[in-house]
Amino acid sequence: MQPRRFGSTGLTVSPLGLGTMTWGRDTDAHDAGEMVRAFLDSGGTVIDTAASYADGAAEEIIAGLLHTGIARRDVVLVGKSGVQRTASGSLVLNAGRGALLDDLDASLVRLGTDHLDLWLVQAPDRLTPASETATALEIAVRSGRARYVGVSNYPGWASAQIAGLMSSSGSGIGLAGLEVEYSLLERGIEREVIPAAQALGLGVIGWSSLGRGVLTGKYRRVRPADSRAASAHLRAFVEPYLTEQAAAIVEALAVAAGGLGKTPLAVALAWARDAPGMSSVLIGPRNAIQLSAALEATALELPPEIRSVLDEVTAPPLGYPERRS
């Protein structure tokens, strides 16, 4: 994998990143270790996690790997904060300065490191002023806890708002980039988020680039018993893409993949990886076998005619004012 520059920053990232949402719950430390070593051997660097993943267990697994032969300098560690579990067990958003920095400190302890390469606010919090969130991001960089900072799952206007606040503060610390969902099944960010990121020089990481697993083709005929869609805690995550519209896209993808002699997974991943504006796209394999299948996409470059067909059949509807006449 050839590294890419993350937006206009000095940070370089691998075009594929390893997501850890299932670590500590569906993926144990042994399987995680096998995947990380294979991923790094393939040229990957980005490992993406969050304080909320398995209530911190994913971060603890990463810490174990960093202390058993995985060099910290070989990893671009991306972390997220701002989603907290209450005493009743529900999840709430809190992008306030104190909550974010407390989350960050706790993550660094669990990870066993003194800094994140990229720290992101996991989701927009409508109750907290954007200026307070921007201040927390600046403090994280100024204190050395994060090398670069950004936001995740923010709309284009809110990303631009945070970027503007940081730019005008005079600190010299800017917003580095965004992390947002992106795949053949979810191209909504092309309306305004990608244009905003390109205009502002922001890097973009796409999560769930395989459409929450649906673009692998595993759900074309049945719902496998060991799949996320059959899992009690991940069923709701997958079900939005188990629709007739999504099924039609998966069939078109399968036809394209068959013509190339490749798997739907490899074609979907190559499409997302090389989409305009994308710095890196995340994969979330649960074991080394799934990772190996995803890494087959690293050498695949889609012919222009295949990309054009997939672009056409999955194009997001545009309305006013983003519609181009």
Contacts 24+ apart (CB under 8 A), 271-274: 271/184, 271/302, 271/307, 271/310, 272/182, 272/183, 272/184, 272/206, 272/209, 273/15, 273/16, 273/209, 273/297, 274/301, 274/302, 274/307
Taking the C-alpha atoms of residue 170 and residue 19, their distance in angstroms, rounded to an integer, is 34
**Could you give the 3-state DSSP secondary structure of residue 238?**
helix
Q: Which of 53, 154, 182, 241 is catalytic?
A: 53
How many H helices and E strands in the chain?
A: 11, 12
Let me know how long the chain is. Answer: 325
Q: Could you give phi then psi for residue 108, rounded to 5 degrees?
A: -60, -35
148 is a catalytic site residue: no
CB 225 within 8 A of CB 35: no
Give catalytic residue positions: 53
